[in-house]
Amino acid sequence: MTREFIEFVLTHEDEDTARLLLSAGRYPHIDMPLAVQQIEGRRTAREKWPELLQCEDFVYPPRLNREQASSAFTAAHKASLLSELPRVADLTGGMGIDALAFSRVATHVDYVERDPVLCRLMEHNARILGVTNISVHCADSLEWLALQEPFDLLYLDPARRAASGRKVSAFEDCEPDILSSLQLLLSHGRRLLVKASPMIDIELAVSQLPSVSDVHVVSLDGECKEVLFLCGSPCGEPQIHCTLLSSRTSETSITSSTSPTSPPRNKTTPPAPLRFTRSAEAAAIPTYAASVGAYLYEPDAALMKAGPFRLLCQWFGLQKLAPNTHLYTANRLVEDFPGRVFRILHEVKPSRKAVAEAIPGGKAHVAVRNYPLSAADLQRQLGLREGGDRFLFATTLGTAKTAFICSTL
């Protein structure tokens, strides 16, 4: 990472990296594979870690490690869940984004990683970022932990790829298998924070992990990114938190932090941020629509994963389209609804002829909810092309299959 090397990376940042690799002979003083790794790393940073672009000396790891790393936004959110702690250990160090975030709220962070290359990168990056309260340990995390005094918090983000490269989600399929190591983890950590796949079965995970106090389902820009389990403080039924983050701001934000606009009487105002328990969801009494109102409400991915489907009716005064249709409607506009809101233009039969009359241009964004066809299959069946400013939702209203032509607000 000489000055010449850094200047090369910055100069060629927007060029075709495949062509750069082929032209390596023209630049004998440049480690071209490493340069391409840094160029591609900086491109990833534009979306995931924009503040790192200001640090030209930051060294990015290989592609797989970048893909597996938390974004700056989700890492900052995880750190915000922790009060000031003396000692935190990140037992699955990787690129180190989470460890860097924890270093802002912990007195000391131990980063543990068995890949020596990643460890050297972490030592370098922490130094050039001016972070002095992280210690790097190149070791098997569980073997290393067995020799340590207890920590205030242990953080684990197990690798979710099988040896074949296939993505996995169940704890027992991940590396390390935390379920087989719970005795060690519990004896060496007062609390555990476990990051799981967005595909994890939340109820199964709660039954497998010890003393889960909180489950945090986190989305970023409408895509579910993480499910976090905080363990170690028995407190009865776990609280499930839905957190909606936006990359358009430099800080974590929960878009549903206020009460619904003009909440109707005798309705339950949602907590801020949105949180609930399974028993509260089971006890909630939803209202169902006989017909649609002026607006269609689609919950954010965090809520779709967490599942407060009955409570959404109470929190926002909405009507559900059907018990298994997680779309909602109302005649009034709820401006701070945690998800997407559409204006309903037409209700149509989901047939090629009816849709062609409602969408003369033949272009729309197709979505299906509680409907027997996939979006791609329905799009082909209706003869629609992707694009335009119209949205078609094929769904079930009551017991009837129907479709709504919508526009954004």
Q: Do 372 and 228 lie in a common domain? A: no
Q: Do 203 and 314 lie in a common domain? A: no
The DSSP bridge pattern shows strands 134-138 and 192-196 to be unpaired
**CA 24 – CA 21 distance, rounded (Å):** 5
Q: What's the domain range around 150?
A: 66-245
Q: Does residue 259 sit within a domain?
A: no
Q: Which residues pair with 340 in a beta bridge?
A: 298
Residue with tokens 């967490």: 306
Q: Does residue 307 sit within a domain?
A: yes
Domain's final residue, options 43, 60, 77: 60
**CA 360 – CA 383 distance, rounded (Å):** 11
Contact 326, 364 (CB under 8 A): no
Q: Does residue 250 sit within a domain?
A: no
**CA 44 – CA 60 distance, rounded (Å):** 10
Q: Do 48 and 122 lie in a common domain? A: no
Residue 163 confidence (pLDDT): 61
**CA 366 – CA 383 distance, rounded (Å):** 11
Q: Do 83 and 212 lie in a common domain? A: yes
Residue with tokens 């990051």: 195
Q: Do 19 and 94 lie in a common domain? A: no
Q: Does residue 362 sit within a domain?
A: yes
Q: Do 210 and 287 lie in a common domain? A: no
Q: Do 281 and 204 lie in a common domain? A: no
Peptide bond into 299 cis (omega under 30): no
Residue 254 confidence (pLDDT): 23
Which residues of the chain fall short of a pLDDT of 50?
250, 252-272
Residue 249 confidence (pLDDT): 65
Number of domains in the chain: 3
Q: Interior CA angle at 178 toward 93 and 163, to 5°?
A: 75
Q: Does residue 229 sit within a domain?
A: yes
Residue 174 confidence (pLDDT): 81
